[in-house]
Structure 1
Amino acid sequence: MVPAVLIAACISVHGDDGREKKLAAARKRAEDAKGETKGGLTQMMNLVVVHYSDGMLLKGETGNFFPNKNLFHLQERDSAEMRQINMQDLKAVYFVKSLDGKPGYTEKDDVERAGFGRKIRVHFKDGEVQYGYTQGYAPNRPGFLIFPCDPDSNNERIFVVTGATEEVHFI
């Protein structure tokens, strides 16, 4: 499948020789694939579980999370309400495969995975311990991404807010 952006670039460079229909079809496929189209570009929506420092949880979708931004928006699963989320209030943002999780599943922390960076252990201030891999931890940054050790985890990646951690150790 050819991305709509690529088709649009070809049309602008080479002229429209019947590609408008392909562009429209590509946009439609992108919209149907759980993306939101803005100005001809597809915005990917991510399923997330937002963990606040005070213990509150919100589940929903976001399309504008960026690790270097202080705010992002979350459309809640249950109410469909759009909320503005301030990163300073958070413990972590869990990017997940399913908002329902895997009840009863115990994540493995002893799985070795290549290509995900250095293995790390994160102790949060609330007592939780998370194991994973990171390529970008620095204590002076506001946050960092970790990838779970267990490929069968419901978590795809986790953005950890540095201020919510007690200790972070490379293993």
Structure 2
Amino acid sequence: MENIEFWKSFAKCRGNFVTPEKDQTNKHTKQKYWSVAVLNDAARDCFGDDIVYYFTDVNAEDQVGCTITLIHLKSGQSHSQLTLVDKVKKTEQGCGTGYTYAKRYCLMGLFALGDPENDNDAQHEEEPAETGKIDSIKADCEKAGMNLVTCLRSVKADNWNLSDKQISQLRKILKEREQVSQQDSFL
């Protein structure tokens, strides 16, 4: 393994890492997340004087934003990590947001921080709906000719223990599908 001394030192420092409280809330999804500032503070507290790290943003191409993170030990060993993000919006704000995401995800990766609010685990925190409601929406999906796996994926679920919110989302999808089908039949 390359840079074994680096990784030993990094592992020692990483053992001191204290996961910070999430300090920001996404205004659209209302989900909490860590800002780069909070993750930076936690990383600095963890590393102390043993490790220096910094980010540099690279303007790679129109579609991708890159952030290179360089972590440097006092001994002279270092490690660099490249994080790529999609630049969906090519405006200044869109690019800046992309670079911020890259830095945040890089730090989350270095410290093995999961963010269940950004993956499917968040859906499991809600109580399942009544069995009758679940059976009803499942039957409606089958009646509409929808693949049941696709129905589950559309509401970020991997089983039929759906919440009331997920059932509402599926009802909306079924309604939109029916409207499109009716429009197509007129053509």
TM exceeding 0.5:
no
* Between structures 1 and 2, the one with greater strand share: 1
Of structures 1 and 2, the one with the larger relative CO (CA 8 A, separation 6+) is 1
TM-score by length of 1: 0.22
Give the TM-score of the pair, scaled to structure 2: 0.21
Q: Which structure is higher in helix share?
A: 2
